Amino acid sequence: MNEKQQGIAPLVQVDQLAVTFYTPTGVVHAVRDASFEIMRGQVLGLVGESGCGKSTAAFAIMGYLPGIHRVEGHISFEGRDITEMSASEVRELRGNRIAMVYQDPATSLNPSMRVGPQVEESLQTNLNLSSQQAHERTVRLFESVGLADPANIGRRYPHELSGGMQQRIVIALALACDPDLLIMDEPTTGLDVTTEATILDLVVDLKRRVRAGILFVSHNLGVIARVADRVAVMYAGQVIEQAPVRELFKNTHHPYTAGLLSCVPRPISEDEVTTKLISIPGVVYEASRDDIDACLFASRCPMVQDQCQEEAPEMFNAGNEHESGCFFWNDVQKGLWEKEIPREEIDHEGSLVLTAENLRKFYGRWQRKYLFFGPRVKPPVRALVDADFDVRSGRTLGVVGESGSGKTTMARTVAGLTPRNRGELKLRGEDLAPEVEERNRQQRDALRMVFQNPTASLNPQLPISHTILRSLRKLAGLNRKESRERAAELLQAVGLDPAYLGRLPGELSGGEQQRVALAGAFAGNAEIIIADEAVSSLDVSVQAQVLDLLGKHQREEGTSYIFISHDLGVVRYVSDDIMVLYAGHVAESGPADSVLKPPMHPYTEALLSAAPVPDPDAKPTTIRLPGAVPTLLERFQGCFFAGRCPRKLGPICDQTPPPERVGPDSHDHVIYCHITVEELKAMQQ
């Protein structure tokens, strides 16, 4: 059945790999014990949370590790051990036999060199092609990775390409010399879901087309489920479970994997109820700590036994090519972590807290050719065009859309951080001034914002008590003693020890920092908390904790949220109402279930179709949006989505703005589309 049984040697065999870095601040055991094999024509998914050693393992195969380090174990590539090769032998493999695709295509391409020559130089060096041959081959490569205008795109610089196009260039570069092993390190992290979907399609297509082995590193189980044939799960530098993809998702045999799977909110569940997310308590066994004779997951494991603390488990064969590093692999079951209970749905309508009408924000102004004179040459950026929405008490408004669709602009105009140009914003019927400085104390207290990057939004020089106490004294009007007590309560509420009050932000992990930022937002008794991608940079297990925290606070205090995320699964999980933005326009808005089950607007449909589902048996989706959100410099004659709409009717979409239609299930459900609601509904059946 598989090649191994037919006696074909694996392409890559990683055997008890351990990588240790010696840094000025101490020893880091990035990889402790990783063993896996990659076959030709097979995609091995390497999955785990950040800091588990996935990327280090991948770079070790390239023979590329920074700083002072020690590599133990063996990495054999076609029978030769990479760890024992000389520098020039390794260089001959790189680019030629083993090639890599990186996480951030924007920084992985040389900014001052045209993209064509960046591929051509690899061909010229590795295959000794002439510049003419290299150029021709590059054009063919660009064509094969689905780049439009392959003959001319090579003359562009990286910054002239979108993120998806840049990643295709990097993939073309990796494929240039027909490598035997392709390593992809988080190749879609940081890309829009729509772009991610097209890149993943390309990877699936590559798997069939080239006879290379692929190592696909990702933290995203949905992405892994989509592309991998086999999956290895890493925890604290160890491979703790390994199995064919279906087997792993269906018969999980390690409590950590089971935990990861139930941390991830799923984008849609047409018939099933959304279950409450569980979270894995504690933190990953730190890389700075020494190896111990115990299971490294024991301190977080719900089924821990005495044996786990006394002896390190080996990999046990669980049949079906499934291996697990848990003594009690056979006892791992669904519901191990927590009973799967349905998420508490909010059924109350809520009173109106915030209403926005015709909210508009243009960045910049018309620029003239010669500073103050001459014809108008550059128009302003139409970031948010006449958006209407409202936020109700105790409910969450989820905002989705690709990057460049106006989500953050909308959040910032509501918070008053960027003044709106036009439109009305009312808080409980009272007018809100465009700029936060002009709003009165109560209005300022009522709106709090939590940002994407907690490290950047906390002052690194001040202890975290400052963030929280200041909000309490200024906003909630408590005195010194009261505020201390309340701060301790708040920290406990976000799952942190009150002793953290004296610490500096730098001493906390990213997840802890974000929880501090949330405690600060909770401190002011805000009526509305605006969370702009607040959980996007967090690992899934921490993300689950933060999401549950938000939910708990909402139930207790009746706070409303405006929740912005590019992750449809997360938005679906937290939202009561959803607003879909595209190119600064509201495409659709309404109660969450009406918007998503089933999707009506073609853009919502495309977003849902693109979202990766952590289930290898999920129905493959087919709707793809090529390209990116338009530049927003021009006013749309017709429908804002006409340029990319897969269900475009014809000239009417280009010429007339779409009418406002009311959805079939709810009066609050608004769809802007030329297609009638009945037809939209029929398309989903």
Partner 1 sequence: MVRFLAVRLSLIILTLLVVSVIIFMVTEVLPGDAAQQQLGQSATPESLAALRASMGLDRPAYVRYFDWIGSALQGDLGESLKYKKPVAEVIGPRLYNSVILLIFAFVISVPTAVITGVWAGVRRNSFGDQFVSIMSLVGISLPEFVTGILFIVIFASWLDWLPSSSILLPGTSPLTRPSILVLPTLTMTGVLFAYIMRMTRANVIDVMETDYVRTAILKGLPMRRIIFRHIIPNAMLPTISVIAVNIGWMLGGLIIVENVFAYPGIGSLLLVAIVSRDVPMLQALSLIIAMTYAVSNLFADLSYGLLNPRIRIS
Q: 623 CB contacts (<8 Å, ≥6 apart)?
A: 605, 606, 609, 610, 646
Separation CA 605–CA 624 (nearest Å): 10
Tell me if 560 sits within 8 A of 353, measured CB to CB: yes
Please identify which residue in 5, 112, 461, 622 interacts with partner 1, judged by CB under 8 A: 112
Q: Is position 563 an interface residue for partner 1 (rule: CB under 8 A)? A: no
**Between β-strands 447-450 and 528-532, what pairing exists: parallel, antiparallel or unpaired?**
parallel
Peptide bond into 598 cis (omega under 30): yes
Stretch near partner 1 under the rule CB under 8 A, chosen from 122-130, 281-289, 404-412, 437-445:
122-130
Give the shortest CB-58-to-partner 1 separation in angstroms.
11
Figure out which of the listed residues 126, 188, 393, 543 binds partner 1, where binding follows CB under 8 A. 126
Tell me if 131 contacts partner 1 by CB under 8 A.
no
User: What is the per-residue binding string for partner 1 in 163-182, x denoting contact by CB under 8 A?
Assistant: -------x--x---------
User: How would you label 274-296 residue by residue, b for 16+ Cβ within 10 Å and e otherwise?
Assistant: bbbbbbbeebbbebeeeeeebbb
Stretch that binds partner 1, among 27-35, 40-48, 106-114, 198-206 (CB under 8 A): 106-114
Interface with partner 1, residue 111, by CB under 8 A? yes
H or E element: which one contains 16? strand 12-23
Q: Which is nearer to partner 1, 124 or 421 (CB)?
A: 124
Does residue number 144 form part of the binding site for partner 1 (CB under 8 A)? no
Q: Find the binder of partner 1 among 69, 94, 360, 474 (CB under 8 A).
A: 94
Stretch that binds partner 1, among 120-128, 277-285, 390-398, 425-433 (CB under 8 A): 120-128
Q: Binders of partner 1 among 363-402, rule CB under 8 A?
A: 369-371
CA–CA dist 658, 652 (Å, integer): 9
C-beta of 250 vs 368, nearer to partner 1? 368
Out of 125, 269, 320, 509, the only residue in the binding site for partner 1 (CB under 8 A) is: 125
Q: Which CB atom, from 24 or from 111, has the smaller least distance to partner 1? A: 111
Q: Which of residues 62, 172, 245, 383 is near partner 1 by CB under 8 A?
A: 62
Instruction: Pick one of 19, 46, 57, 99: the residue that binds partner 1 (CB under 8 A).
Output: 99
Site for partner 1 in 481-510 (CB under 8 A): none
**Pairing, β 560-564 against β 660-662:** unpaired
**Of 117-125, 388-396, 436-444, 598-606, which part binds partner 1 (CB under 8 A)?**
117-125
Q: Write the burial class of residue 52 (CB in 10 Å: 0-12 exposed, 13-18 middle, 19+ buried).
A: buried
Ramachandran area for residue 186 (φ above 0: left; ψ -120 to 50: alpha; else beta): left
Per CB under 8 A, the list member of 42, 55, 56, 108 interacting with partner 1 is 108
Helix %, strand %, coil % of the chain (to 5) = 35, 25, 40
Provide long-range contacts, Cβ within 8 A and 24+ apart, for 85-90.
90/63
| Closest CB to partner 1 among residues 118, 418 | 118
Which residue shows structure tokens 């054009």?
Answer: 139
Rounded Cα distance between 138 and 156, Å, is: 13
Shortest CB 127 distance to partner 1, Å? 11
422 touches partner 1 by CB under 8 A:
no
| Closest distance of CB 376 from partner 1, Å | 13
Question: Per rule CB under 8 A, is residue 575 in the interface with partner 1?
Answer: no
* Nearest distance from C-beta of residue 135 to partner 1, angstroms: 16
Q: Is residue 483 packed enough to be buried (19+ CB in 10 Å), middle (13-18) or exposed (0-12)?
A: buried
Looking at the Cβ atoms of 169 and 264, the one nearer to partner 1 is 169
What distance in Å separates the CA atoms of residue 15 and residue 540, rounded to the nearest whole number? 28
Is the distance from CB of 54 to CB of 81 less than 8 angstroms? no
**Of 339 and 369, CB closest to partner 1:** 369
Cα angle: 652, vertex 379, 360; to 5 degrees: 70
* Given 2, 16, 23, 107, the residue binding partner 1 (CB under 8 A): 107
Count of residues that interact with partner 1, criterion CB under 8 A: 30
130 is an interface residue for partner 1 by CB under 8 A: no
Which listed residue (40, 69, 74, 91) binds partner 1 by CB under 8 A?
Answer: 91
Nearer to partner 1, 142 or 636 (CB): 142
Strands 213-218 and 230-235 come out as: unpaired
Indicate which single residue of 113, 148, 341, 456 sits in contact with partner 1 (rule: CB under 8 A): 113
* Residue 604 near residue 580, CB atoms below 8 Å: yes
Minimum distance from residue 162 beta carbon to partner 1 (Å): 15
Of these, 35, 65, 104, 463, which contacts partner 1 (CB under 8 A)?
104
Could you give the CA distance from residue 16 to residue 515 in angstroms, rounded to a whole number? 37
User: CA–CA separation, 373 vs 382, rounded Å?
Assistant: 23
Question: In a 10 Å sphere around its CB, with 0-12 CB exposed, 13-18 middle and 19+ buried, how is residue 91 labelled?
Answer: middle
Task: Work out how close the CB of 59 gets to partner 1 at its nearest, in angstroms, rounded to a whole number.
Answer: 9
Cα–Cα distance for residue pair 468/465, rounded to 1 Å: 5
| Residue 38 Cβ vs partner 1, minimum distance, rounded to whole Å | 18
- Residues contacting 479, CB < 8 A, separation 6+: 473
What whole-number distance in Å separates Cα of residue 278 and Cα of residue 264? 9
Nearer to partner 1, 370 or 437 (CB): 370
Assess 92 for contact with partner 1 (CB under 8 A). yes
Question: Quick check: 95 binds partner 1 (CB under 8 A)?
Answer: yes
Q: Are 474 and 468 in contact (CB under 8 A)?
A: no
Helix (H, G, I), strand (E, B) or coil at 146: coil
* Part in contact with partner 1 (CB under 8 A); list of ranges 22-30, 100-108, 354-362, 386-394: 100-108
Region near partner 1 per CB under 8 A, out of 108-116, 142-150, 262-270, 295-303 = 108-116
Residue 107 CB, nearest approach to partner 1 (Å):
4
- H-run or E-run covering 609: helix 602-610
Q: What residues make contact with partner 1 under the rule CB under 8 A?
A: 62, 64, 91-96, 99-100, 102, 104, 107-113, 121-122, 125-126, 157, 159, 170, 173, 369-371
